[in-house]
Amino acid sequence: MRSRFERTGSDTLYEFRILTEVDRAAAAMLVVQKGIDSTGAREVARALKDYSWMSKPPEGFTADPGDAVAYHYWKLAKQQSDMQARSRLIANGLRFASSSEARSQVEKLLTDFSVTRSRPAPLLPFYRLDSEDELPRVLPVVGKLPLSSADLQAVPAVEESGAFGFVQFEGGGAWVGVPGWQVVLAAEDPVAILAAPSTSFPLKLLASVKRCW
């Protein structure tokens, strides 16, 4: 196997970058034994990766890498209603099956024509926070103006923890997420107040607030 990849096959080995070191060696051995090209190597890598996420091998299959790839094609064949495509997947499963149990499982599909539809898992987007401005701070809402000192004292205590500001609090109430502006992040015990600035605040106070923000 080593001499095979010393001469050629870097494109094939590149497909194994998603695998662990042990699985990479197993995948390399499989493609050499079965004469798989780089396109087939991508399928092998995908099959081994999915198989590694399982807590234990599925019923009728073993931990052998060949059985892992056979299971991949067995699962695809069960979902395929087109007989020509189904037969091709079954042939691939039999090609890789290492154990007699796995081979038996794949061979059952030759007489079992039932189709098992499966819904693919949704693809979830990933986001990366590049600055504190993108990290909100959760504030308790006191209420609408005018307010009394008793209203402020009734605001529940807020306890933040972790890099994302996980909030723990006592009691009930309303809450609002505010962008991570510097003045908000630096505030020791901030609260949110619902008000219409043009009617509720004096002009002098509005000017100071605007300068602050």
What per-residue confidence (pLDDT) applies to 150? 86
- Which is nearest to 173 in space by CA: 200, 146, 194? 194
DSSP element (H, E) containing 102: helix 100-107
**What string of H, E and C letters represents the secondary structure of 119-172?**
CCCCCCCCCCCCCHHHCCEEEEEEEECCCCHHHHHCCCCEEEECCCCEEEECCC
Tens-digit pLDDT profile for the chain (213 aa)?
Answer: 888 888 888 889 999 999 999 999 999 999 999 988 888 999 999 999 999 999 999 999 999 999 999 999 999 999 998 999 999 999 999 999 999 999 999 999 999 888 887 667 777 777 676 666 667 888 888 888 788 888 888 887 777 777 777 777 766 678 888 887 888 888 888 888 887 665 555 544 434 443 334
What per-residue confidence (pLDDT) applies to 154? 83
Residues 146 and 82 in one domain: no
What per-residue confidence (pLDDT) applies to 211? 35
Q: How many structural domains does the chain have? A: 2
* Signed CA dihedral, 137, 143, 145, 151: sign only: negative
- 48: how many CB neighbours lie within 10 A of its CB? 23
Could you tell me if residue 122 is inside a domain? no
Residues 32 and 96 in one domain: yes
Residues 100 and 137 in one domain: no
Could you tell me if residue 19 is inside a domain? yes
Residues 33 and 75 in one domain: yes
What per-residue confidence (pLDDT) applies to 210? 38
What phi and psi values does residue 78 have, to the nearest 5 degrees? -65, -25
**pTM of the predicted model, to two decimals?**
0.56
Domain that holds residue 102: 2-110
Rounded Cα gap, residues 193 and 211, in angstroms: 19
Q: Where are the beta strands (DSSP E) in 21-153?
A: 137-144
What per-residue confidence (pLDDT) applies to 161? 78
Residues 25 and 94 in one domain: yes
Residues 43 and 93 in one domain: yes
Report which DSSP code applies to 35.
T
